[in-house]
A and B are shown apart, each in its own frame.
Chain A
Amino acid sequence: MIELSEEILLRMYYKMNQARFFEEKVDYLFSKGLVHGTAHLSIGQEASGVISCLALEKGDLVSMTHRGHAQAIGFGLDVNLMMAEFMGRARGYCKGKGGSMHIADVQNGNIGANGVVGGGFNLSCGAALTQKYKKTGKVVLCFAGDGATNQGSFHESLNLAAVWNLPIVFLIENNLYGMSSPISKNMNIENISERSGSYDIPGLTIDGNDPIEVYNTVLKALRYARAGRGPVLVEAKTYRYNGHSKGDAQVYRNEEEIAEWREKDPILRLKKYLQENRVFTDKQIQTMANEAHKSIETALKFAMESPEPEITSVLEDVYA
């Protein structure tokens, strides 16, 4: 077990709160009909989304999913530019062209969220091939959902990464459902990490709602990949509290199940850890949450003040 510094614990708590507040704001804006389109919220998944990114080194890369806000915040994206993108504004990460599902910060190693389920696996192989070829010593963290592991691209990518010894950590956020489908209906295994066996790579299943376990495991997996030993498959078991996307009646699950998972809330878990280990005082903990909250209010203000893109921009950036 890796001893965590105060600084990293503080970052964990701050960023998980930031992700939560960001998504609560997104949810609110939709409920008021203020934003066009849709978004996928990962409220409840902040440990797997945020914390795994905190284990990255500077220069490492990440490929995100359609449910990527927490992943992006963990990776260090600026919530102002994220909110502006979500609102379709010119100052957003993608100049208003991508929206929630396509947030990216390519020059800083965030190769983008993906609207195609399973779309990130082979892109990550390519990004990892670049790292290996150029001997950068950097690793790619590839996020995906449980549902995505039934795409052929998952299997093809794990195989390729294994035989080519590519520096990738595949991080499966297993939130138990792909849209309305419980994993039990779509695969006969209980732990997705078992699929690593077919490719002879390490596979680990962890409590994806335990921030400390997520951090330590991903750090270990990244070290393994960085050492040139090839890919690792990490499965983080977690849960989303909200529906799949806007307008999901959630007929496929019940309130008790959601309530049970709320008991295992990753932010509360970390708070308890901080209190029990007396890392910070209650006042310090509250201050961190307040700061995170403030940053989201600022982000909204930034987004609202950002102009709409010029109509002529619709023709820009099709080609390099």
Chain B
Amino acid sequence: MNTSEMKKMTYRDAIRLGMTEEMRRDDNVIFMGEDIGIYGGAFGVSHGMIDEFGEERILDTPISEATIVGTAVGAAATGLRPICEIMFMDFVTFAMDALVNQGAKMRYMFGGQSQVPMVLRLPAGSGTGAAAQHSQSLEAWLCHIPGLKVVTPSTPAQAKGLIKAAIRDNNPVCFIEHKLLYKIDDLVPLDEEFIIEIGKTLTERQGKDITIVTYGSLLLKAMEAAAFLAEEGIEVEILNPATLYPMDMKPIVESVIKTGRVIVAHEAAKTGGLGGEIVARIVESDAFDYLNAPIIRLAGLDVPIPYNKELEAACVPQKIDFIRAVHRLIDSEQG
């Protein structure tokens, strides 16, 4: 195949393509979850996979999240490479024992004897009117657990490259998908060896004036804000830590050294969110001396996500919030 061949497809289709290629390549890869077979998953990500791989490898499970993930850990530790879909990230709560006390620690506890190569796919985020129990962004919990890796793609190409890397990784990888991104479409490399390495922060836009660090669906809002600000002559640099853990700080630190101003943004609630961690690492680094203004954190309000559409939107940073934050940073220096 021509390795530079690209095809336009949605984020949803790109995840499916990545999983499909890996399942063709390695028959130890199996896929478990609720309604992933004939229904194609709650968000259509696994649509049609049952036709190619059958019920042996596409396993529809009962509604038993604790057992889905526990089974995946046990299977992974004994030679399979399971992918699990938890219908909504919110229900990872049920699976926390399997994930946190078992999967994440097994290798270390056993002195390096085991490995747990599994992927937990977690549709996350608000914006769908699904209210408090179906809209959360809980990535900070997962990043807090040594032994887990956490990735979150923002584009179709990243979705394909990262799901493949996650499946090939020999550790439990949490793969967070933002529900608002499923319909986004863009070019995706068809090369079956196209992988986005886990542990790399991606530079999404170059600029000299301000650094924005953000991920997930907020990346799109930041990109739109940057395009708007460019017309005012403000050049924003945008960095996307598509691997949230272990996070690659180098490009972030380098960017802050260049711009001296930084905004860190995520949809998850501010308190205890990853933004605090990123900011701490910036101020611990060489970039500290280069900061020309206080760092701004844009984050979700510290509230459960409400149902009403306007209230829901008010809970998470929007494009306008990025623009205002940039203006504030610029003004704070001039004034």
Q: Which residues of B contact A115 (CB under 8 A)?
A: 130-134
B80 within 8 A of A: no
* Of A37, A152, A185, A251, the contact of B128 (CB 8 Å cutoff): A37
Report yes or no: B303 in contact with A99, Cβ–Cβ below 8 A.
no
Report yes or no: A150 in contact with B62, Cβ–Cβ below 8 A.
yes
On whether A185 and B60 interact (CB within 8 A), knowing A97-B311, A308-B308, A314-B315, the answer reads yes
CA distance A252 to B37 in the complex (A): 10
Interface residues as binary, B60-76 with A (CB distance below 8 Å gives 1, 0 otherwise): 11111111000000000
Report yes or no: B309 in contact with A38, Cβ–Cβ below 8 A.
no
Q: Which of A10-65 contact B (CB under 8 A)?
A: 35-38
Q: Which residues of B contact A285 (CB under 8 A)?
A: none
Smallest beta-carbon distance B84→chain A, Å: 16
A117 within 8 A of B: yes
On whether A101 and B62 interact (CB within 8 A), knowing A88-B309, A314-B314, A314-B315, the answer reads no
Q: Which of B81-105 contact A (CB under 8 A)?
A: 90-91, 94
Interface residues on A, range: 35 or more
User: In the complex, what residue of chain B is closest to A179 when comparing beta carbons?
Assistant: B35
Task: Tell me what chain B mostly uses at the interface: helix, strand, loop, or mixed.
Answer: loop
B38 within 8 A of A: yes
* Of A36, A102, A152, A308, the contact of B132 (CB 8 Å cutoff): A102
On whether A314 and B311 interact (CB within 8 A), knowing A150-B64, A151-B64, A252-B38, the answer reads yes
Interface residues as binary, A73-102 with B (CB distance below 8 Å gives 1, 0 otherwise): 000000000000000110000101111011
B288 within 8 A of A: no
Report yes or no: A102 in contact with B63, Cβ–Cβ below 8 A.
no
Report yes or no: B133 in contact with A116, Cβ–Cβ below 8 A.
yes
A148 within 8 A of B: yes
Smallest beta-carbon distance A112→chain B, Å: 11
Smallest beta-carbon distance B182→chain A, Å: 12
CA distance A133 to B91 in the complex (A): 31
A320 within 8 A of B: no
Report yes or no: A102 in contact with B131, Cβ–Cβ below 8 A.
yes
Q: Which residues of B contact A114 (CB under 8 A)?
A: 133
Q: List 7 A-B contacts (CB under 8 A).
A: A37-B131, A96-B307, A97-B308, A178-B34, A178-B63, A181-B35, A186-B61
Told that A99-B131, A186-B61 touch, could you supply 4 new A-B pairs with CB distance under 8 A?
A88-B308, A97-B306, A251-B38, A314-B314
